[in-house]
Structure 1
Amino acid sequence: MTVRVVVADDQELVRAGFALILDVQPDIEVVAEANDGFQAVAAVREHRPDVALLDIRMPGMDGIEAARIVCAETDCKVVMLTTFDLDDYVFDALRAGASGFLLKDVRRDDLVHAVRVVASGDSLLAPSVTRRLVEAFAAGAAPAPLRPGRLDVLTVREREVLRMIAEGLSNAEIAEAMVVSGHTVKTHVSNVLSKLGLRDRVQAVIAAYETGLAVPGTRPHS
């Protein structure tokens, strides 16, 4: 199956470089390029890609606003690209529905991997972004915390799964810790996302920290 991608960046050389790296992959096709948020949204609406790479800083409509529209209107997964590793951008991008967040100095192989991972329905963050995200929660800098009661819709098992997702465990590791099958964990994860109205595991991590279910510095479950 070919992963269809839209690349949006106001810097032509950067945009062309990302597009070239991705388009030469046998399983990836760049269906459109855009130099601002308006063009990016229009391209997504027209081509219905699987993944959109959106630069955060673009003229007219920035990447975060474009991500909000794309995530609200389509099933397209969004990976944000930026030169700056700043907390405000991380929070805004993830709240907009982004499934990934990468810096523009990302290595070629990591860029390709990011597109494949996000297209498959998983999520990713650059290690430095993950660290900053957790540190911000630890410092109480995360904006607009959610009500803990929001998790009341989850079963005890689903809460446990959500906590372990926030601790960084994979489905296989969760299955091992809970002594259940991978299929069972996948079902629990799907239920958590559905009940809380979340797009992916990244938003699940945010929900776990915002509601106090997960605490920065918590060691992985064993």
Structure 2
Amino acid sequence: MVCKHPDIQEKIAQEVREATNLKDNSSIDELADNLTEETLSKMQYLVAALTETSRLYPAVPLNAKVCSSDDTWPDGFSVKKGDIVGYHAYGMGRMKYIWGDDAEEFRPERWLDENGLVQQESSFKLIVFSAGPRICVGKEFAYREMMIFSAVLLGSYILKLRDENKVANYRTKFTHHIDGGLYVQASPRFANASSLRRYMP
């Protein structure tokens, strides 16, 4: 998404540099060393962009739950104990009924209030981490991991798709996979940006 929307990529990079209070000639190591709880809490636009990406491309596109007891839903539909109820997080993230007429647009601003702070939606609306008593216990850890990795990459590198015309096709499995991978070129944002290899497994 940030490759397809370079203006958003730049906005995130600027926020990262401002939050860490680093100069443009700071190295990637200095940037990584300055990612604290305090600096990460200032990266509201980054959180919004990650949330918007998760809405459109949830890591787990399909999921299901087993009813532990008979129940009647608010709309009057009844389920029985043992019934399996499936839901399609990928499809729900694109439903105009839920998200409005711009549901298929990548727009991080939908997650920000008038002060530029992240406003969370109900987890039953944004179902990518499940909801209620079955919400993912690793949700906060996942956000921290995504934020740190994204801040280091976007704060230090300009990312572009190797082939801007190639369409990313997905293979639906338990988790979302891009068929054939997604090839991206990373160019140092500043002269002092060191090798990416140090941060890659």
Q: Shared topology, TM-score over 0.5?
A: no
More helix by share: 1
**Please, what TM-score do these two structures have when normalized by structure 2?**
0.20
State the structure with bigger RCO (CA 8 A, min sep 6), 1 or 2: 2
**Please, what TM-score do these two structures have when normalized by structure 1?**
0.19
Asked which structure has the greater CA Rg, the reply is 2
